[in-house]
Structure 1
Amino acid sequence: MTGTSFFSVEKIGSGRSGGTTQAESRIYNERLVVTLVRRHGQLAKTDLTRLTGLAPQTITTIVNRAAEAGLLRRLEPMRGKLGQPSVPYALNPDAAFSFGLKIDHHSADVALINFTGEVVAFERAEFVHPGPEDVMAFARSAIERLRAAHPSVLEERIAGLGIASPFHPGSLGEDAVLPQPRIQAWRKIDIRAELDRVFDWPVFLHNDGTMAVAAELMFGAGAFLADFLHAYIGHCVGGGLALDHHLHPGRNKLAGALGDMPVPAAGHGNEPTVPLSRLASLRALADRLNGADDGRIWSSPDDWGDLGPPLQDWIEAASGGLAHVVMNAVALLDIDNVVIDGAMPKEVRKEIAKATRRKLARSLAGRPQPFSVLEGAFGHLGPAIGGASIPLLVKYSNDRDVLFKD
């Protein structure tokens, strides 16, 4: 189906600031139908008519085209009600695939996901101090191996590659972990451009916090939330923002940079405030453990074993810092949800969310809508799945910013 509006969308040239053509409206409506089916799991044509306000014949045309293109699959009719049986449609998991590359201070991950966000294949490589050449060599070889192992993933079905990196040009600052030569190497190279030369599909680059919120928005708890703040706890604390069901990266692609936000110092010397990452990051936990974890928090994100009182102290400090940041975000953005995730075991993530919820309960009790503190769905896989979700979002979502802006 290459060449249809489902697969080939041209951006409007610079200078256009308003209005859409008939073709652009058709593309938007097609994407809207696919997005609504993704969000709800399955929908009949009558449901789509009600949700979109489009004419029944328009919905029939769009759904039939999407089914012919392989994006939607027809399910068994639902009987038991008056009138004709309702025929629901769902996404076809094999309609499209995408690769995600996650880079951090200790490892790199490559994930291959399908159209519904299921991880088809995954590889990880660990590094002492990752450099761009090492990461690019791993990405090329891992993608080659995963494609060879899954020959049913056809070239024309691959939407692209999304890179989630803390060494994003807009967010790379001084780093106390990477040696200066490595930092300089990351500053000099455009990894997106380098990998774009290797593959025939589009390659995207965002910071790892933005990518993690994209995973939650497309495939996790955020799919059912109109607005939410996302906090991702890794080597540093990243974050992202979703508004009105759309990813909001900001003009400089740095919206939701929670780790830099000042919070009460909580015993950090004479400093009244410190950046959130000084309290809530895995690096802050490693400092508390002082080597007692034998590197488990970096190498075993699903099972840390028993880390004792230092872990409990870190959870208390991290949740306090997160609660402070959330209070400020609520005051500024009027949101009702925060999703907390990170490269950590599920039980630790659960404890941080519970402690944050407890600290916010009294302060936010008077809001018109109950405030929710939710656990993220993906853990250490979040940035890689988020990276892979960006090509799918760009190619198949109804986000007007993605469709109609440079």
Structure 2
Amino acid sequence: MTGSSFYSVEKVPDGRSGGTTQAETRVYNERLIVSLVRRHGQLSKADLTRLTGLAPQTITTIVNRAADGGLLLRREPLRGRLGQPSVPYSLNPEAAYAFGLKIDHRSADVTLVNFVGEVIAFERLAFDTPTPDEVMSFAKAAISRIGKRKAIAAERIAGLGIASPFHQWNWNDDSEASRRLDAWKRIDIRAELDRVFDWPVYLFHDALVAAGAELMFGTGVGRADFLYAYVGHFIGGGLVLDHHLFPGRNKLAGALGSIPVPGAGGRAQPLLQLASLVSLAGKLEPDAAERLWSSPEDWGELGSPVLEWIEQVAEGLAYVAQGAAALLDVDNLVIDGAMPAGVRKEIAKATRRRLARVLGERPEPFSVLEGSFGHLGPAIGGASIPLLVKYSNDKELLFKE
């Protein structure tokens, strides 16, 4: 069944532990340094010594090795302070690259991102109903085309991350679409694509990896914790705690769609029935509803149905965020989705108004933030996973067997 294997252990780079041998400690410390530089933008050796508690000579060795290996770039010295000029280091955008593959009900995206999350190449295939053969053929061809066009050395490719909603294929009707989707129950697309490439292939829930994109490259950079909501065909989410993506034992932490929220007449309904593009499409004429899928960056004028839907989404998200703040003590909600930036902005504003009344007395202010990537979030998130695995210290939570 699709999603039955999350990644290929044999292709995961060495040094996956938290540092129990000398070699593992060296790898772990280097990844810690890289993670801190990513979080702060740029840091000097003195900054890293203060943040890590490691000896100055140890930091010097690690930073010099990372710079010599192309992971870090030495910036111009910062002058005008007491003592010797401080030399900051930042990430080298060309240090590594990764591919992301997003699969959903209406399209598949392939993207190539660099070490700092910039999109280097992007291709999309739209369809009425995806089949495994179509998606795999497109993914292999697109990755091959992009690889030839960009001419990136193979050792610079960290891997491929697949973003897919695991249960999207469980349709229970007798439609032709349902029969076509049924093929996904008989195939493990991660394993199939893993046979094609020399670098590792990972598969995780689409909203979870989109949260990873925000953590590594977007609004979540530098934020210790946040609940992430992605409004797509359905609604999903992810959870970041203490600067680490937290997937949960079943890789489903932050699965917001199944959370019951007050619906019409006060009856409890799953959030996905209120806060999803499917729920909005049900309010629109067919031609207008088609624009939700074909033009995620510009829906045009949809009138009062979209305004009503925005308030509905905000009400549900505010209810969920209030519970998350009480249970997990998170301070941020990041909202994104396959929608125009203006719609996302209005959802965030409406959610913020509701939470101001109920979370205003917290010791730390609760923030409602907009995501960075829109409909590209899952594809960029897929690409973030190989980079997270190979170059982050976030290993025990996400990829320990």
Specify the TM-score bucket, using the shorter chain as the normaliser. over 0.9
Cα deviation, 1:117-164, whole Å, max 9, x if unaligned, reads: 00001011101001111111110011111111111x111100000000
Structure 2 match to 1:356: 351
Task: Structure 1: give runs of 5+ residues left out of the alignment.
Answer: 1-6, 13-17
For the 8 Å contact 2:130–2:181, the answer to whether it is kept is no
Cα deviation 1:25-63 (Å, max 9, x = unaligned): 222111110001111111111111111111000000000
Q: Provide Cα deviations, 1:154-179, integer angstroms capped at 9, x if missing partner.
A: 1110000000001x26x754367982
Give the structure 2 partner of residue 136 of structure 1.
136
For residues 48 and 128 of structure 1, do their structure 2 counterparts lie closer, same or farther at Cα, with a shift above 3 Å needed? same
Q: How does 1:63-102 map to 2 (within 5 A)?
A: 63-102=63-102
Q: Output the CA distance in 1 between the equivalents of 2:279 and 2:223.
A: 30
In structure 2, distance between residues paired with 1:158 and 1:37: 21
Number of residue pairs matched by the alignment:
389
CA distance in 1: counterparts of 2:400 and 2:210, whole angstroms: 23
One-letter code aligned to 2:14? V
Residue of structure 2 in register with 1:263 after alignment: 261
Instruction: Report deviation, 1:19.
Output: 7.8
Tell me what 1:159 maps to: 158
Deviation of residue 403 (structure 1)?
A: 8.5
What corresponds to 2:281 in structure 1? 286
Is the contact made by 1:28 and 1:400 (CA closer than 8 Å) also made in structure 2? Answer: no
Instruction: Give the aligned partner of residue 367 of structure 1.
Output: 362
1:316 aligns with 2:311: yes
Distance 1:403 1:204 in 2: 12
Compute the displacement of 1:74 (Å).
0.7
Give the aligned partner of residue 29 of structure 1: 29
Contact (CA 8 Å) 2:76, 2:87: kept in 1 or not? Answer: yes
Q: What runs of 5+ residues in structure 2 fail to find an aligned partner?
A: 1-11
TM-score by length of 2: 0.93
Give the aligned residue type for 1:157: R
Corresponding residue SS for 2:264: coil
| Distance (whole Å) between structure 2 residues aligned to residue 402 and residue 159 of structure 1 | 19
| Counterpart in the other structure of 1:3 | none
Aligned-pair distance for 1:11?
Answer: 4.2
With normalisation by structure 1, the TM-score equals: 0.92
Distance 1:398 1:19, change over 3 A: closer
Paired position in structure 2 for 1:228: 226
What residue is the counterpart of 1:15 in the other structure? none
Describe the SS at the equivalent of 1:330: helix
Instruction: Verify: 1:46 aligned to 2:64, yes or no.
Output: no
Corresponding residue SS for 2:78: coil
8 Å Cα contact 1:158-1:201 kept in structure 2? yes
Alpha-carbon RMSD: 1.8
Task: Sort the Cα spacing of 1:202 and 1:178 in 2 relative to 1 into closer, same or farther, 3 A.
Answer: farther
Q: 1:313 to 1:261 in 2, by over 3 A?
A: same
Identity, in percent, stands at: 66
Instruction: Give the superposition deviation at 1:404.
Output: 7.8
Q: Which residue of 2 aligns with 1:401?
A: 396
Query: What is the CA–CA distance in structure 1 between the aligned matches of 2:303 and 2:176, rounded to whole Å?
Result: 28
